[in-house]
Amino acid sequence: MPLPLEHHVPLAPRTTLELGGAAKHLIDVSNEHTLIDALRWAEGENSPVLVLAGGSNLVIGDEGWDGVVLQISMRGIEHECTGDRVRVRVAAGEPWDELVAHTVAQGWAGLECLSGIPGSAGATPIQNVGAYGQEVADVITAVHLWDRRSEQRRVVSKDACGFGYRDSIFKREPDSVVVLAIELELHIGGEPTLRYGELSRSFEGRNSPTIARVRDRVLELRRGKSMVIDPDDPNRRSAGSFFTNPIVTRDVAEHVVAQARRHGVERDVPQYPVDDQHVKIPAAWLIEASGSRKGERHGAVGLSTRHALAIVHHGGGKTSQLVEFARVLADRVQQRFGVQLRPEPVFAGVRW
């Protein structure tokens, strides 16, 4: 079978930010054989490889990708029930939210809080996607991948994935593996997870909600923050959270509190304990408390009107403008609070 090879393919329409140049070559990878052939072809051409799936967490440079883009499109969901548990194997190219909707409809608990997240299933272990009190590390049992160094298929058990907050071994070595499939264990007829304050508060004083009700509520919350893809939403072109929430020592957190007081910031500093010595401070709060405003615009990019952690492209812009604006936001935070923000999306063909 010849490789499904295309040339000079615009990448902007394949990302939720709708920014960036073209791929020199693009190969649609719908099965493992194509993946292996595509990687060999890229090596023969001495071309760098970029693995692209849903494009929802990706910033592509204005010059595009001077190499081969592998568009991951393997599909398939299989499951096996044992007692009150179900093991689900999901191919990397499955759209994540369709998977969540499917599992919730079956009454399988474990993914309900991860509703409405754009992107594909295979991308979720890389940065350990999390939201509203759940993260994929809670339910993943194994990741099937192609190891580009040994040129072999490998199955990595959950404990070997090195999961942390928005982190995994795969994120630290982005060029060495391609995720083929993930395996999850869900709870048949299980209770929903109500751990995130904003979510659990909406059910206070009521009977325990079903997982379907929790999915609906999470979708409502996300919609209110423009964090679901809606063609009519003016904030729709984004990569979700643009920065991770910094984890700082308690000393640094005290400095943040003192600086906030000095600058007359009205809202208290939100802090979430991580361990005895560290707390997490929401990057959205730091951005607003350092003087940036929701809806603030810099040409064709700006801050979402609904959430201070989403940088939005209004159309007709450039990646360079987006990165410049993101740096302005990060510099304001650094100057006022001495805290460094780190971008959450993957950067390709452009540096942070």
Q: Which of 241, 259, 292, 319 binds ligand EPU (CB under 6 A)?
A: 241
Q: Tell me how far apart the alpha carbons of residues 161 and 3 are, in angstroms, rounded to a whole number.
A: 31
256 binds ligand EPU per the rule CB under 6 A: no
Helices (H), 190-247: 197-201, 211-224
Q: Collapse the DSSP code of 109 into the 3-class scheme (helix H, G, I; strand E, B; otherwise coil) and give the result.
A: strand
- Residue among 310, 245, 330 nearest 279 (CA): 245
Q: Tell me how far apart the alpha carbons of residues 343 and 321 are, in angstroms, rounded to a whole number.
A: 15
Instruction: Report in angstroms how near the CB of residue 7 gets to ligand EPU at its nearest.
Output: 32
- What is the DSSP secondary structure assignment for residue 333, as one 8-state letter? H
Please identify which of the residues 120, 168, 241, 304 carries the catalytic annotation.
Answer: 241
The torsion of the CA quartet 329, 334, 336, 337, rounded to 10 degrees, works out to 120
The piece of 58-66, 179-187, 206-214, 283-291 that touches ligand EPU (CB under 6 A) is: 283-291
Q: How far is CA 111 from the centre of its chain?
A: 15
284 binds ligand EPU per the rule CB under 6 A: yes
302 binds ligand EPU per the rule CB under 6 A: no
240 binds ligand EPU per the rule CB under 6 A: yes
Site string for ligand EPU, 203-232 (x = CB under 6 A): ----------------------x-x-----
Q: Is 236 a catalytic residue?
A: no
Q: Tell me how far apart the alpha carbons of residues 21 and 190 are, in angstroms, rounded to a whole number.
A: 45
141 is written with which tokens? 């049992």
Instruction: Report in angstroms how near the CB of residue 214 gets to ligand EPU at its nearest.
Output: 13
Q: What's the alpha-carbon Rg for the chain, to the nearest Å?
A: 21
Site string for ligand EPU, 304-333 (x = CB under 6 A): ---xxx------------------------
DSSP string, 168-190: -HHHHSTTTEEEEEEEEEEEETP
288 binds ligand EPU per the rule CB under 6 A: yes
Please identify which of the residues 166, 213, 236, 327 carries the catalytic annotation.
Answer: 166
Q: Is 150 a catalytic residue?
A: no
Q: Tell me how far apart the alpha carbons of residues 63 and 173 are, in angstroms, rounded to a whole number.
A: 24
96 binds ligand EPU per the rule CB under 6 A: no
Residues 105-144 that bind ligand EPU (CB under 6 A): 131-132
170 binds ligand EPU per the rule CB under 6 A: no
Instruction: Report in angstroms how near the CB of residue 79 gets to ligand EPU at its nearest.
Output: 26
196 binds ligand EPU per the rule CB under 6 A: yes
Q: Is 344 a catalytic residue?
A: yes
Query: Residue 193 pairs with which residues in a beta bridge?
Result: none
Q: Tell me how far apart the alpha carbons of residues 168 and 294 are, in angstroms, rounded to a whole number.
A: 31
Q: Which of 344, 346, 349, 350 binds ligand EPU (CB under 6 A)?
A: 344
Token look-up 């360079």 returns 320
Token look-up 């909707």 returns 101
Which residues of this protein are in contact with ligand EPU, per CB under 6 A?
131-132, 196, 198, 225, 227, 240-241, 244-245, 270, 282, 284-285, 288, 294, 307-309, 344
Q: Which residues are catalytic?
A: 166, 241, 344
